[in-house]
Amino acid sequence: MQPYLFTFFVVLLTVLLMIGLTLNVGRARAIYQIRAPATSGHDLFERAFRVQQNTLESVIMFLPALCLYAFLIGDKGAGIAGSIWIIGRLWYAVAYQREPAQRGIGFMISFLMVIGLWIGAAYGLFLLYFKV
């Protein structure tokens, strides 16, 4: 088996998620006639835009944590946590588009996965540094 196969799969899914969210913003721009560079105008466009931006902000914390965890602890654990993060972000995106007040569960799922990956990576670094 290739090393980091599960982690790489999650990275690819993350890129696909971002592509989908970007296309959704473009679709919303066309439907609600929001011309670039405007980022406001119609509530449903603003929801699509915020989902994309919030997910991008999360990706910045998620991907380094995922890769460090995979390298320091293990690929399968990173793949599982990363898959749960993807599910959380999808939940977040759908909920935010429907009713922004309902986005909390998806946010918490993905946020907890990021925190877990960072804690795991820190633990792995501790073990490596102290050769425990």
Mark 29-56 as b/e (b = at least 16 C-beta within 10 Å).
Answer: beeeebeeeeeeeeeebbbbbbbbebbe
Q: Which residues lie closer than 8 Å to 58 by C-beta, 6 or more apart?
A: 89, 110, 111, 114
The matching CATH number, chosen from 3.10.20.30, 1.10.3720.10, 1.10.1060.10, 1.20.120.550, for 5-130 is 1.20.120.550
Asked if residues 2 and 75 have their Cβ atoms less than 8 Å apart, the reply is: no
Position 37 scores a pLDDT of 95
Mean pLDDT of 79-104: 98
Give pTM, 2 decimals: 0.94
Position 1 scores a pLDDT of 61
Read off the amino acid at residue 93.
Answer: A
| Domain spans of the chain, in order of start | 5-130
pLDDT digit string, tens, across residues 12-64: 999 999 999 999 999 999 999 999 999 999 999 999 999 999 999 999 999 99
Mapping DSSP to helix (H, G, I), strand (E, B) and coil, where does residue 35 land?
coil
Mean pLDDT of 69-75: 97
